[in-house]
């Protein structure tokens, strides 16, 4: 017997789908353009290490994480290749860039100077990439500061400028002129140091990789597309040429109880739903603590016996109720699918995102990072 029983709620990750998606996206790129796989957010909820391994199977040797600790975990798990740390680091974490061979993305003079000082002290060299703000108003130096930073980096020992990068705020929107405008700003900033710069340029996220290939430069940095979704929130857009990407995550549970209630009965906290007919309910052991948002109250749908059924009333911490009046023969212990396929029906992370007023990214992170995962 296992030392602990497994949860009724299981997130299943199809690692072959991850490998497939990386292969489809990377083989669509012009020759010479590399594809970095973003595995931050614990691989968008799919498991950082398992996702990195699945992408590596398709030839991926470039990975992106948010923090240095994630890069160290990847190394400890034996992941090879280049690992970019995207959101900076605290001064006390600087040595990990050397000991774990991580590539820092920098956007402050302090970080540049600390990396140089540490490189000298350790007798090492390190390649860093400079982030430019071309409209996210987030991390990144302003385009007018790029030349100054390039000079600072050139004049300090132990460090070298390996790349210039930026990030698009609206590449998921094919109709927005923002991406082309931001790319112009980025290109001009790169040009301002053209004579002394020999590194690579990269700006394209999934939206740009799928919709604006003219912005690919030397490397795409894809996240959501590799997990099988389009950043636009419409699964129909989640394709490369004519080939659809494959969502890799599904989320299932087992019905905890089936019960009948009469007309006019309130359901769950606040009685936000009152039955309008004699109603058969299935009670599911899934709630907001499992990443199934309370915003799905009276809005979400799940699959039982291959049919879509609606959530009735509020989603509780560990439970929610669905209407199975129209489905015969449902019993406690039957499988219910909250994300994924059952019979001919399918619920996508985009469906859940629309009901919960968010994006597939958040749905995948919330479900994947709050449940037991099974890798197949």
Ligand X SMILES: *Cc1c(COP(=O)(O)O)cnc(C)c1O
The helix-helix angle for 48-57 and 15-27 (nearest 10°) equals: 50
Q: Does 224 interact with ligand X (rule: CB under 6 A)?
A: yes
The count of chain residues that interact with ligand X, using the rule CB under 6 A, is 13
Segment contacting ligand X by CB under 6 A, of 223-231, 288-296, 327-335, 347-355: 223-231
- By CB under 6 A, the residues from 85 to 104 that bind ligand X are 86
Antiparallel, parallel or unpaired: β 249-254 and 335-342? antiparallel
Could you give the 3-state DSSP secondary structure of residue 319?
A: coil
> Which residue in 20, 40, 44, 229 is the catalytic one?
40
Figure out which of the listed residues 38, 65, 83, 255 binds ligand X, where binding follows CB under 6 A.
38
| Catalytic-residue membership of 20 | no
CB 102 within 8 Å of CB 68: yes
Q: Which residue is nearest to ligand X (CB)?
A: 223
Q: Does 221 interact with ligand X (rule: CB under 6 A)?
A: yes
Closer to ligand X by Cβ: residue 225 or 302: 225
| Catalytic-residue membership of 269 | yes
Single out the residue of 23, 13, 43 nearest to residue 240, CA to CA: 23
Q: Does 223 interact with ligand X (rule: CB under 6 A)?
A: yes
Antiparallel, parallel or unpaired: β 239-240 and 219-222? unpaired
Segment contacting ligand X by CB under 6 A, of 93-101, 183-191, 222-230, 338-346: 222-230
Pinpoint the alpha helices (H) of the chain: 15-27, 40-44, 48-57, 68-76, 96-99, 109-122, 146-155, 178-191, 206-211, 349-355, 360-368
Closer to ligand X by Cβ: residue 53 or 221: 221
Q: What minimum distance in Å lies between the beta carbon of 88 and ligand X?
A: 12
CB 272 within 8 Å of CB 297: yes
Sign of CA dihedral 183, 189, 191, 197: negative
Give residues in contact with ligand X (CB under 6 A): 38, 40, 86, 167, 205-207, 221-225, 231
Tell me the catalytic residues.
40, 269
């Amino acid at each position: 017997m296992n030392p602990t029983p497994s949860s009724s709620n299981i997130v299943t990750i199809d690692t072959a789908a991850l490998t497939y998606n990386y292969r489809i996206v990377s083989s669509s790129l012009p020759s010479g353009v590399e594809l970095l796989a973003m595995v931050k957010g614990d691989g968008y909820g799919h498991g950082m290490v398992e996702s990195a391994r699945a992408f590596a199977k398709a030839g991926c040797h470039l990975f992106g994480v948010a923090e240095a600790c994630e890069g160290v975990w990847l190394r400890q798990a034996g992941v090879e290749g280049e690992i970019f740390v995207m959101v900076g680091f605290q001064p006390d974490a600087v040595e990990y860039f050397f000991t774990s061979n991580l590539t820092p993305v920098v956007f402050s003079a302090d970080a540049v100077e600390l990396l140089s000082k540490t490189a000298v002290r350790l007798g090492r060299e390190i390649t860093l990439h400079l982030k430019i703000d071309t409209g996210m108003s987030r991390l990144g130096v302003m385009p007018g500061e790029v030349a100054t930073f390039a000079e600072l980096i050139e004049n300090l020992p132990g460090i070298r400028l390996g790349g210039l990068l930026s990030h698009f705020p609206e590449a998921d929107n094919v109709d927005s002129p923002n991406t082309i405008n931001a790319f112009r700003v980025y290109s001009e900033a790169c040009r301002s140091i053209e004579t002394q710069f020999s590194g690579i340029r990269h700006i394209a996220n999934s939206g740009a990789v799928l919709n604006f290939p003219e912005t690919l430069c030397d490397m795409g940095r894809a996240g959501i597309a590799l997990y099988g979704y389009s950043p636009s929130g419409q699964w129909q857009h989640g394709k490369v040429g004519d080939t659809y990407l494959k969502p890799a995550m599904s989320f299932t549970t087992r019905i905890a109880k089936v019960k009948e209630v009469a007309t006019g009965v309130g359901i769950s906290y606040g009685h936000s739903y009152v039955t309008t007919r004699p109603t058969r309910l299935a009670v599911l052991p899934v709630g907001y603590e499992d990443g199934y948002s309370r915003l799905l109250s009276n809005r979400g749908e799940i699959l039982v016996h291959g049919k879509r059924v609606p959530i009735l009333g509020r989603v509780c911490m560990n439970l929610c109720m669905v209407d199975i009046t129209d489905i015969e023969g449902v019993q406690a212990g039957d499988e219910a699918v909250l994300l994924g396929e059952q019979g001919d029906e399918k619920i996508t992370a985009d469906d859940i995102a629309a009901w919960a007023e968010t994006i597939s990214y958040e749905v995948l992170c919330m479900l994947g990072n709050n449940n037991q995962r099974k890798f197949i």
